[in-house]
Amino acid sequence: AHSYSPRFQQAAFDALGIPARYELWQTPASELPARVASLRASGCLGANITIPYKEAVLPLVDVVDPVAARLGAVNTIVHRDEYLYGYNTDAPGLLRALVEQGVGRHLENAGVSLKGYSAVLLGAGGAARSAAFALASASIDGLIIVNRNLERAQQLAAEVQQDSACQVFSLSNPDFLIPRSTSLIINATPVGMHVSNRQAEETEDVSPLPAEVLARFDAGTFVLDMIYNPVQTQLLRQARNLGLRAANGLSMLLHQGALAFTLWTGQPAPLEIMRSTLL
């Protein structure tokens, strides 16, 4: 989000004639409480929070939105009437990105339905957690969580189980049984992410799913890699080579940002103007 968010948020403010500046504030952990407190200054609309502080800011805001409370993570702070409100736009941002790709449908109450769909979720960390809750909240028919550490996957499955039928497999067992007709594969692991030049060669040619496992899926399966740097990961390359529809994490980043913009300003986000800065 480091380079993209300031770009599209500033474009949105400018397009609507809102005299606001979106700035990147690098913050050491020791300065986090003071940094969040500084958002109470008059004229401050709020902030976005990135990894690794999404959990740490929870006790630093006055009111936590139910979605953020359930996820245990805040990615958007809104300064309103002298209070700081904590929200999470990652989960709804993911669902909007999926609908944009033709997966699921919008409901009249502004929610999203994934009834009739099934998903394989790779990972069990923070990003996977927000994805799992998003999918469950959209009434997905079946969810399979695949992770290296089976225990973490089981913990996550137990938490979302009440909303959706959930199964768990270990990534170290490539023979896990996934129905060919799975509608959706989401990578919520950092595997394939560009970290630094030193690691670029080591990480970017790696896929979280063996190609032979990917080859088992029907042509209708959609692959979403939450990673957006690089824009074309090895997983996406493999999926497209197999004729599967696939997308990176930029659309999700855009939609969570648009939702944050609306929370700060009370105005609909100029989505296409924001999107044009990503091209």
pTM: 0.93
Q: What share of the chain is helix, strand, coil (3-state, %, to 5)?
A: 40, 15, 45
Q: Average pLDDT for residues 38-51, to the nearest whole number?
A: 95
Residues 196, 249, 86, 23: is their CA dihedral positive or negative?
Answer: positive
The CATH code of domain 92-250 reads 3.40.50.720
Q: For residues 127 and 90, give the distance between their C-alpha atoms in angstroms, rounded to a whole number.
A: 8
Residue 166 to residues 30, 134, 142, 143, 159, Cα–Cα distance (Å): 38, 13, 6, 5, 10
Written as six digits, the tokens of 47 are 């902030």
Please tell me the predicted confidence (pLDDT) of residue 196: 66
Q: How far apart are CA 93 and CA 76, in angstroms?
A: 12
Active site residues: 54
Q: What is the pLDDT of residue 2?
A: 59
pLDDT of residue 99: 97
| Beta pairing class for 105-106 and 184-187 | unpaired
Please tell us whether the domain made up of 4-88 is placed in CATH 3.40.50.10860: yes
Tens-place pLDDT, residues 57-116:
999 999 999 999 999 999 999 999 999 999 999 999 999 999 999 999 999 887 899 999
Do the two domains 4-88 and 92-250 of this chain adopt the same fold?
Answer: yes
Q: Note the pLDDT of residue 175.
A: 64
Phi, psi dihedral angles at 77 (to 5 degrees): -110, 135
Could you tell me which residues come within 8 angstroms of residue 58 by beta carbon, excluding any fewer than 6 positions away? Answer: 64, 68, 72, 73, 74, 86
Q: How much is the pLDDT for 171?
A: 75
Domain coordinates of the chain in residue numbers? 4-88, 92-250
Q: Does the pLDDT of residue 201 top 70, yes or no?
A: no
Nearest in space to 104 (alpha carbons), one of 91, 115, 94: 115
More reliable by pLDDT, 176 or 25? 25
| Lowest mean pLDDT segment, chosen from 160-169, 232-241, 263-272 | 160-169
pLDDT at residue 121 tops 90: yes
Is a pLDDT exceeding 70 seen at residue 198? no
